[in-house]
């Protein structure tokens, strides 16, 4: 399942060009290897061994074509979780005593393996969740870069072990040391199945914790690939354990286990916020929850409308709007509304929709029938309460009938409509006219969520005001590559405010690894 070939250019989410022939040839080879592996059986990974689950198996089919079985997967239960937690507890003392430099060496090897296997892992991910090739390859590279970047932050902070001041008595030596909590549970979502597992696991483990990882049941294959890379890099048995299965059994068992010292969850607001409120019982346990978004773009009358339309189209419809950072609401100055809609519709109607494994299609399916239903319900409401400017249909012609394909959809609605509040996770963006930047900012901030936001304006004063007043963790100004999407490790810190995240510290940035440790002060007198 590996290929050593690496592209010469780095694919990121801001990569706009899709014309590197060498890259396409490498990807086609990855697709071939991936396709040959479809249909296999995959197991859990506990204490360094691949093992069956105690609750049987489950099957995953690709959203691209539901006739194609991706594989069967071991279904774990609460007992498997406890075994995995026990293995992680046993492994943790030796792992935390392993010098942090040695821990980083193993993790950097894992990052290299992920990059080397980028083509097959990317193709597996494309089959699994329906990403197009640049999105899939970008995510695999992001996973590797997250580990590399976090390792660099650990080094820059000298392993978080620092001498402190002395009050005049030379016989007293004081230090402050960040030390691991113990065992972290890592629960990841379907939409970034590799990056949002590799980042948390990499950070937890380099900090000296051990991990029990549960992937989304929609995207277990990418979880397997990641765990395989960690194992092949030489992580000792028990440091990373992996249990597949439903959220309401395996996920619940993880969050209620007494053997778990901290949890990092990425997923929806409903599940994440409930987990946040219930996780601590005997004493506070660290609980990093990264949740959903309803991310606004503001377009003022001083915007470059061509740039705005391009950025909105890319962020609203890239990966079918199934990014936590997707741009799902637009507040545009009434004076430029019609021209923005014209440009946005023009660009949206040029989007090619189909099997995203194939080079010619930019937009693949949504993840499942429920996502199609949410999209169709939203379209029905928009037809009734506003106007559909573009798209709206469920596509069922020919091969598309066997997958979950919908048209990218631009609608106009009054700003108070529920479709400006609820996260849909589908290729659907709602536009409302506003009279001023003040109105746009007030509407943008009137949300449970606060993940990403964007503005298009050529006026520095407006931009300054946006940066000062908007309530969100990740801001973009005049970005053609994406109005609200496309963060990269070490480049854009990525974390939510309000109902989008719990800690106020972002991923992809220099404060992340420290969240997996607790501070201890050492005062030693000679
Ligand atoms: P989800 O909440 O349905 O599931 C996320 C994970 O939680 C899955 O592994 C699931 O099995 C598990 N889970 C479900 N019920 C559980 C329970 N009771 N206890 C413990 N675990 C449980 O989310 P999803 O559909 O996989 O992902 C999409 C969501 O994730 C969107 O809301 C999106 O905005 C959000 N997201 C946020 C970020 C971010 O960085 N803020 C990034 C990606 C996705």
Answer CATH for 295-489 from 3.40.309.10, 3.30.360.10, 3.40.50.300, 3.90.180.10: 3.40.309.10
Contact present, 344 and 310 (Cβ < 8 Å): no
Using CB atoms within 10 A of its CB, is residue 66 exposed (0-12), middle (13-18) or buried (19+)? middle
Catalytic residue status for 324: yes
Superfamily of domain 29-291+504-516: Aldehyde Dehydrogenase; Chain A, domain 1 (3.40.605.10)
pLDDT of residue 3: 40
Structure tokens that stand for 154 in this block: 């650990």
Q: In sequence order, what DSSP letters do the residues of 477-492 get, joined into one string? A: ES-TT-SS----TTTS
- Alpha carbon of 189 to ligand 1 centroid (Å): 4
Identify each DSSP E strand in 75-160 by its residue range.
none
The domain ranges of the chain are 29-291+504-516, 295-489
Q: Which residues touch 284 (CB under 8 Å, ≥6 apart)? A: none
pLDDT at position 11, please?
79
38: left (phi over 0), alpha (psi -120 to 50) or beta: beta
State the pLDDT at residue 20: 83
Instruction: Please indicate whether residue 385, judged by its CB atom, sits closer than 6 Å to ligand 1.
Output: no
Q: Is 154 helix (H, G, I), strand (E, B) or coil?
A: helix
CA distances from 406 to 125, 143, 353, 388 (A): 20, 28, 9, 14
Tell me if 485 sits within 8 A of 325, measured CB to CB. Answer: yes
φ, ψ at 248 (rounded to 5°): -80, -5
- Cβ neighbours of 328 (radius 10 Å): 28
pTM value surpassing 0.75: yes
- Dist. CA 441 → ligand 1 center (Å): 28
Cα–Cα separations (whole angstroms), residue 68 to 35, 210, 231: 10, 35, 28
Closest approach atom of ligand 1 to CA 324: 34
Sequence-ordered list of residues with C-beta below 8 angstroms from that of 18, at least 6 positions apart, any chain: 133, 134, 359
Per DSSP bridges, beta strands 497-498 and 449-450 are antiparallel
Mutation test of ligand 1: which of 60, 245, 254, 271 has the most ligand atoms closer than 8 Å to its C-beta?
Answer: 271
Predicted local confidence at residue 2, as pLDDT: 38
Tell me the two tokens of residue 485: 């999407």
For residue 275, give every residue at least 6 positions away whose Cβ sits within 8 Å of its Cβ, in sequence order, or none: 255, 263, 265, 287, 289
Q: Which runs of E-coded beta strand occur in 75-209?
A: 161-163, 172-180, 183-187
Distance, in Å, from the CA atom of 19 to the CA atom of 7, rounded to the nearest integer, reads 13
State the 10-residue block means of pLDDT for the chain, 526 residues long. 49 74 93 98 98 98 98 98 98 98 98 97 98 96 98 97 95 98 98 98 98 98 98 98 98 97 98 98 96 98 98 98 98 98 98 97 98 98 98 98 98 98 98 98 98 98 98 98 97 98 96 98 97
- From the list 420, 354, 353, 430, the residue with the least C-alpha distance to 387 is 430
Three-state SS for 311?
helix
Element (H, E) at 329: strand 327-333
Same fold, 29-291+504-516 and 295-489: no
Q: Is residue 434 classed exposed, middle or buried when 0-12, 13-18 and 19+ CB atoms within 10 A define those classes?
A: buried
Mutate to test the pocket of ligand 1, among 268, 291, 425, 472 (most ligand atoms within 8 A of CB): 268
Determine whether the shortest distance from the Cβ of 425 to ligand 1 is under 6 A: yes
21 in active site:
no
Give the distance from CA 457 to its chain's centroid. Answer: 28
289 alpha carbon – ligand 1 mean position (Å): 10
């Amino acid at each position: 399942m590996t290929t050593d070939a690496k592209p010469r250019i780095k694919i990121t989410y801001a990569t706009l060009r899709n014309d590197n022939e060498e890259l396409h040839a490498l990807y086609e080879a990855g697709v071939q290897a991936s396709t040959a592996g479809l249909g296999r059986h995959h197991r859990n990974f506990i204490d360094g061994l691949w093992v069956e689950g105690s609750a049987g198996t489950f099957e995953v089919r690709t959203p691209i074509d539901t006739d194609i079985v991706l594989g069967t997967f071991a279904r774990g239960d609460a007992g498997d979780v406890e075994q995995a937690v026990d293995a992680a507890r046993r492994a943790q003392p030796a792992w935390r005593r392993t010098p942090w430099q040695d821990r980083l060496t193993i993790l950097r090897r894992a990052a290299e393996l992920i990059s080397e296997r980028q083509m097959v892992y990317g193709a597996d991910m494309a089959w699994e969740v329906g990403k197009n090739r640049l999105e899939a390859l970008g995510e695999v590279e992001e996973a590797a870069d997250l580990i590399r970047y976090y390792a660099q932050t650990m080094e820059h902070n000298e392993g978080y072990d620092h001498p402190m001041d002395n009050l005049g008595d030379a016989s007293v030596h004081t230090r402050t040391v960040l030390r691991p909590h113990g065992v972290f549970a890592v629960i990841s979502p379907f939409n970034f199945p590799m990056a949002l597992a590799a980042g948390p696991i990499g950070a937890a483990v380099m900090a000296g914790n051990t991990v029990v990882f549960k992937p989304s049941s929609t995207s277990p294959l990418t979880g397997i690939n990641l765990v395989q890379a960690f194992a092949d890099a030489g992580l000792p048995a028990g440091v990373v354990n992996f249990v597949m299965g439903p959220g309401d059994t395996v996920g619940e068992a993880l969050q209620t286990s007494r053997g778990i010292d901290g949890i990092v969850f990425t997923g929806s607001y409903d599940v994440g916020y409930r987990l946040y409120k219930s996780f601590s019982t005997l004493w506070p346990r660290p609980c990093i929850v990264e949740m959903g978004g309803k991310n606004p773009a503001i377009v003022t009358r001083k915007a470059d409308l061509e740039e705005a339309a391009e950025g909105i189209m890319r962020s609203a419809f890239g990966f079918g709007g199934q990014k936590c950072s997707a741009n799902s609401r637009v507040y545009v100055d009434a004076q430029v509304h019609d021209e923005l809609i014209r440009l946005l519709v023009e660009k949206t109607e040029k989007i090619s929709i189909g099997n995203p494994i194939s080079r010619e299609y930019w937009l693949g399916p949504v993840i499942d029938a429920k996502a199609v239903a949410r999209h169709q319900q939203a379209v029905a409401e928009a037809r009734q309460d506003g106007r559909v400017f573009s798209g709206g249909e469920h596509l069922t012609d020919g091969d598309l009938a066997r997958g979950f394909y919908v048209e990218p959809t631009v609608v106009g609605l009054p700003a108070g409509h529920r479709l400006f509040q609820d996260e849909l996770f589908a290729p659907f963006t709602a536009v409302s006219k506003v009279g001023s930047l003040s109105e746009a900012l007030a509407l943008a901030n009137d949300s449970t969520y606060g993940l990403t936001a964007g503005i298009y304006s050529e006026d520095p004063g407006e931009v300054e005001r946006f940066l000062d007043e908007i309530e969100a963790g990740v801001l973009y100004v005049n970005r053609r590559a994406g109005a609200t999407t496309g963060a990269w490790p070490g480049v854009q810190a990525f974390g939510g405010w309000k109902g989008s995240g719990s800690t106020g510290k972002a991923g992809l940035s220099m404060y992340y690894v420290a969240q997996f440790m607790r501070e201890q002060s050492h005062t030693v007198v000679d």
